Structure formats: C-alpha cells, structure tokens
Amino acid sequence: MTTTTSREKTTTTTTSREIRLAARPVGEPVPEDFTSATTEVPAPGEGEILVRNTWMSVDPYMRGRMNEGRSYIAPFELGAPLEGAAVGEVIASRAASVPVGATVSHFLGWREYAVLDAGAATVIDTSLAPPEAYLGPLGTTGLSAYAALTRTAPVRPGDVVFVSAAAGAVGSVAGQLARKLGASRVIGSAGGPLKTGKLIDVFGFDAAVDHRQGRLAEQLDRAAPDGIDVYLDSVAGDHLEAAIGAMRADGRIAMVGAISTYNATEPVPGPRNLFDAAAKEVTLRGMAVSSHLDLFPEWIAKAAPWLADGTLRTETTVVEGIERAPDALLGVLRGANTGKMLVRLGEPR
C-alpha cells in the first residue's frame, strides 16, 4: 500500500495483481488467452469499500463469457480483468453499513484487491460457516441446486432423480438435496471410478453412471429400470438425450448448464429424441440462478445447519495463488475438480 501526501490531498493506493482476458478462445481455452497485470487500486470513495480478496470462484459459465455475443450475462471485455464471485476482508470503508474487518462476498474476483460500492457486497456470517463456503454450498452453486429442484424441476416425494456432473459443485449438493426433498432414488453421472465411487460413498447417491465408459443410455437404464422423474442437466448432449429417453410421464428437466458444448466450434445438434419429451408430456425448463436470488435467505437458513451437523457433505478442490486462476478455470472445464473449484488468494491479516 502506497500513500502520497500533498498540500491539497492525501491519497492511498494499493498494488494489486489481476487476471485479464487477452484473447477470445477458439474451441478449448489455452493459457495464452489470459494475461496477468499489476495495477494500482485507489482508496475507496464515498459509499465504497476496499476488499482484500481471500478466495475466488471459477465456474463453467465463465467459458461462455469469454466469447463475444449476446447472452444472459455480458461477455468479458478484452484487456479487462475477468469477474466472478469472491470473498474477502474489508480493509478500508467509507460506508457505514460495511465496517472495516467485515467479511463480504461480491462479484469482483480475479484480482487481489477490489474497490466497489458497498451495496454490491454482502456481509457474510462466518460463525455459520467458513468464508469459502459462501462460494460453494452457501453461494450461487448451492443456490442453483436448490432453485433447480424446488422451482424449475421440483422434486416430489417418491421421485427418481438423475443428476449430471454429479461430482461437481452444483451436482454434489443437488444429489443430497434431492434425498432431503423426498426422492426415492438418486442417480448421478461423473467421469471415472474415483468420482463415481465418491458419489455413492461420500455424497450418498444410490447409483452412479460413468460417462467415460460410454453407452450412457444403457447405463442409465440399468440404474433406473423403471425410469426417472427429474433430471438436473449441467452437461447437455448425450446426457440430455439419455435423460429424455429414461423420462417417465410428467417428468421435469432443469436445464442448468451445457458444459459438453462450451468449447464447440460448430453448431451443436439437439437431442435426437426431443419429440419423446412431447409424447411423455415432459417439461424442459431453463434456469439462470440470477433469477432466483430471492431464495438465498431461505437456502442459507436450511443449508448452514446441514453443513454444521454433517448431513450436507461437500468437497473442494483448491488452487493456490491468483497467478494460477486460469489453470483452475481450465481444470473445471476439463472436469479436474471434485466439488467446488476455488482459488485461495491469501488468508485475512
């Protein structure tokens, strides 16, 4: 931190490293699509706070923001720092509502320090859970699972539920939540024996499908011989097609993500059996978590006690240092994580 004094004013600036978008990827992103920079962050103005970020999140949706074009969220700007969820410690404040020393969550990740309006930050209760939990089970990933299975494709008692990317941040919570909502059987898909084993042994799924073994529809049929009622889709492609094929009448599908398509360089075909959804009167409904932020208090009130008593189990995959944040994002897109992928930027001082 540097302070400059003159007869007219006193200013304080903070040196911060940040990760910027250097190029728009074609297909799978590469490290050269990112660049690091050191910048001077000014002291906060009236109504602003200065946050020293300690944790940041990387998420599959960020791949879409690296492209140009209209979507439900604006693309990242070339030459500018990326954005995403982060938590950190307030080290300077000119807002009475957010004091120095508070721990907050906000959306200016991908940098070590951030100045932002106090209204754009949320003070979090670290007595309920560690700060990083507010980027995972108590953050938008946990909220995504909750909104998907209570609003978008609501689980009813006795339902058979299928969850794709089930060893990831959203899927691992969704499988456990489905059980709490009354599902009679919960099936998850993941890649490789280590992850499929964790679905059953750690996260409490009844059965696991290994998408790396192929024949996804056949595997799902064996796991759910009488069909499924609810599918949480984070993958699209062959997973969505298999789920439609296994759906029972009046089934519900929450379309939360489509990670299998994010690096595509050509138009991606839809499921070949889409009309089966019409014949079975299946509902396919998209879900953007930003439309369900009103559920946050309700979700945290439920999830925090579950985390505390161990009935909601989570895992994290942690990468150390801002300079490795691009590696963390590339890892998420390749399925390198179990549970939530986080970047640790430093501990509070």
Q: In tens digits, what is the pLDDT along the chain, a chain of 349 residues?
A: 443 333 333 456 799 999 999 999 999 999 999 999 999 999 999 999 999 999 999 999 999 999 998 777 899 999 999 999 999 999 999 999 999 999 999 999 999 999 999 999 999 999 999 999 999 999 999 999 999 999 999 999 999 999 999 999 999 999 999 999 999 999 999 999 999 999 999 999 999 999 999 899 999 999 999 999 999 999 999 999 999 999 999 999 999 999 999 999 898 888 999 999 999 999 999 999 999 999 999 999 999 999 999 999 999 999 999 999 999 999 999 999 999 999 999 765 5
The gap between the terminal CA atoms of the chain, to the nearest Å, is: 14
* Nearest Cα residue to 140 out of 130, 151, 148: 148
Taking the mean position of all CA atoms in its chain, how far away is CA 109? 13
The conformation of residue 152, written as its DSSP 8-state character, comes to I
> Residue 121 in contact with residue 105, Cβ under 8 Å?
yes
What is the predicted pLDDT for the residue at 49?
98
**Run of H or E residues at 282:** none
> Coil, strand, or helix at residue 344?
strand
Q: Identity (one letter) of the amino acid at 303?
A: A
Q: Residues near 59 by Cβ (< 8 Å), separated by ≥ 6? A: 84, 85, 141, 169, 332, 341
Predicted local confidence at residue 347, as pLDDT: 61
State how far the Cα of 291 lies from the Cα of 307, in Å rounded to an integer: 25
Phi, psi of 250 (to 5 degrees): 65, 25
Q: Which residues of 260-293 are buried (b: 16+ CB within 10 A; e: fewer)?
A: bebeeeeeeeebebeeebeebebebeebebeebe
Among all chains, which residue has been given the structure tokens 């909104």? 147
DSSP-assigned letter for residue 8:
S
Separation in Å, CA 96 to CA 44, 88, 112, 123, 285: 13, 18, 23, 12, 42
What is the C-alpha to C-alpha distance for residues 216 and 108, in angstroms, rounded to an integer?
A: 39
Tell me which residue of 152, 149, 173 sits closest to 161, measured CA to CA. 149
- Tokens 């959804």, residue located: 277
User: DSSP class of residue 270?
Assistant: -
Helix (H) or strand (E) run with residue 13 in it? strand 10-21
**Any residues with CB less than 8 A from the CB of 190 and at least 6 apart, and which?**
165, 166, 167, 171, 196, 198, 199, 208, 209, 210, 211
Beta bridge partners, 208, equal 188
Q: Which two tokens stand for residue 23?
A: 């190029």
